[in-house]
């Protein structure tokens, strides 16, 4: 049964240009979260462009035709709000959180950044150094380094396997013309979603967005997308000057709209969803083999990446692997007790409901529903799909998904 009250508070308008505007009115709050989402990420880059989406995200904060970089930074902070952005494999988001009275300011600044960047040459050269330092920071972090290597292993010879941040050699080669060219191909209205959640009025947002975007010249639609290569099980052993050993066991996961996504969601919660999960209780609490063990489940529009990460002592690695695969076998062979399944469902539903108290989470959910499903997924629909999952279904799903020979391994060990 659909929550009609929630649906009534959600509105969508598609402008003639193809730009989509989504709003959620949340009564009783005094803030809004505003995001301009661009449906382009590192997977849409050529080899020579590796990292340009992320670099472009940085450069949009460096000034427009009417605002300096300082003006952009001050614009929201001076009214008690903030601006930020992030880049992923499949989308880029520029967002602001502010008082509802500053909605127009937020939309004005964000649209100005996206539509009128100037890319000063001196700022481009400075930002190259900044991004390269960011790369070094990630490489110095063994967990980040292991995950980056693991992604490259799972999506070998595909843009999804490249680091979102790119490489030093590609970033150093970016020019002002490259940035404008990439924007002309990807920052187009059919690739844009504007999402607003909080104490807002849909028509007001539509009027403002229409005003800001009405005189923009757009190019022809063009998308660069590389078909997925076939997944091959692989093992890699890396060394680094560190104290702890880092182990990742994983495989290709499920795409965002896969029919079995709720089965994996619950199986993943039972295995690694917090301190009460089977892996945490077994590997850490019972044996003391690690401080941190967790599962991860990243979805893309046509695939996913799934696995288990653990930081442990090199002497414990074989024991830890054995325990992990024993838990995989257990969830494949034995029906999950109803009490444990019910608790996992409550955990998932609780997280969903708690996220509703955060306007940024609501804004994110609005946009991602549109990007991945082209419609709004209500909380009632999510809860209903979670509640419908049975123990026998999870066992049938797990029997194939958690098959040990399908899992690749990345092992990062101390150098000596």
DSSP state, 337?
P
Q: What is the 3-state secondary structure (H, E, C) of 353-411?
A: HHHCCCHHHHHHHHHHHHHHHCCCCCHHHHHHHHHHCCHHHHHHHHHHHCCHHHCEEEE
φ, ψ of residue 239 to 5 degrees: the values are -125, 150
Contact in structure between 104 and 50 (CB atoms under 8 Å):
no
The helices-and-strands tally (H runs, E runs) of the chain is 16, 11
Given 24, 45, 49, 57, the catalytic residue = 57
- Report the Cα–Cα distance between both ends of the chain, in Å, rounded: 60
- What the block records as the tokens of 177 is 């013309």
121 annotated active-site:
no
Q: How far is CA 382 from the centre of its chain?
A: 19
d(CA 273, CA 275): 7
Question: Computed from CA positions of residues 194, 198, 202, 206, in that sequence, does the dihedral angle turn out positive or negative?
Answer: negative
- The number of residues in the chain equals 416
Angle (CA) 101-105-108 rounded to 5° is 145
Q: Which of 152, 162, 154, 67 is nearest to 115 (CA)?
A: 67
Contact in structure between 104 and 208 (CB atoms under 8 Å):
yes
Q: Give Cβ neighbours of residue 268 (< 8 Å, ≥ 6 apart).
A: 295, 297, 306
Q: Which of 274, 282, 398 is nearest to 336 (CA)?
A: 398
What is the gyration radius of the CA atoms in the chain, in angstroms?
23
Give catalytic residues, as residue numbers: 57
């Amino acid at each position: 049964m659909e929550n009609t009250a929630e649906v009534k508070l959600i509105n969508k308008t598609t402008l003639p240009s193809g730009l989509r505007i989504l709003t959620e009115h949340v009564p009783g709050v005094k803030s809004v979260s505003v995001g301009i989402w661009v449906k382009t990420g590192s997977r849409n880059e050529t080899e020579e462009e590796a990292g340009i989406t992320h670099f472009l995200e940085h450069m949009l904060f460096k000034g427009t035709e009417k605002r300096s970089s300082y003006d952009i930074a001050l614009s929201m902070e001076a009214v008690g709000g903030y601006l930020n952005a992030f880049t992923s494999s499949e989308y880029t988001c520029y967002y602001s959180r502010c008082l509802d009275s500053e909605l127009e300011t937020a939309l004005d600044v964000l649209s100005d950044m996206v539509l009128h960047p100037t890319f000063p040459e001196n700022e481009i050269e400075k930002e190259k150094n900044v991004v390269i330092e960011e790369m070094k920071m990630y490489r110095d972090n063994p967990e980040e380094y292991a995950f980056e290597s693991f992604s490259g292993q799972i999506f070998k010879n595909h843009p999804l396997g490249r680091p979102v941040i790119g490489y030093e050699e590609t970033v150093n080669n970016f020019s002002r013309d490259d940035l404008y060219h990439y924007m002309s191909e990807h920052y187009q209205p059919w690739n844009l979603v504007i999402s607003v959640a909080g104490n807002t009025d849909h028509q007001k947002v539509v009027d403002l967005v229409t005003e800001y975007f009405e005189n923009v010249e757009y190019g022809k639609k063009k998308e660069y997308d590389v078909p997925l290569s076939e997944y091959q099980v692989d093992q890699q052993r890396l060394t680094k000057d560190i104290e702890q050993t880092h182990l990742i066991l994983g495989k290709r996961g499920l795409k965002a709209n896969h029919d079995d996504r709720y089965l994996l969601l619950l199986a993943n919660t039972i295995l690694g969803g917090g301190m009460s999960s089977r892996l945490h209780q077994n590997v850490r609490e019972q044996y003391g083999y690690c401080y941190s063990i967790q599962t991860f489940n990243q979805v893309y529009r046509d695939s996913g990446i799934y696995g288990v990460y653990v930081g442990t002592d090199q002497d414990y690695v074989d024991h830890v692997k054995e325990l992990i695969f024993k838990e995989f076998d257990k969830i494949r062979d034995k029906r999950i007790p109803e009490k444990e399944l019910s608790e996992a469902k409550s955990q998932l539903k609780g997280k969903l409901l708690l996220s509703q108290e955060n306007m940024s989470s609501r804004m994110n959910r609005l946009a991602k529903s549109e990007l991945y499903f082209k419609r709004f997924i209500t909380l009632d629909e999510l809860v209903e799909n979670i509640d419908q999952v049975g123990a026998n279904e999870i066992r049938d799903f797990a029997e194939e998904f958690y098959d040990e020979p399908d899992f690749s391994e990345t092992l990062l060990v101390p150098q000596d």
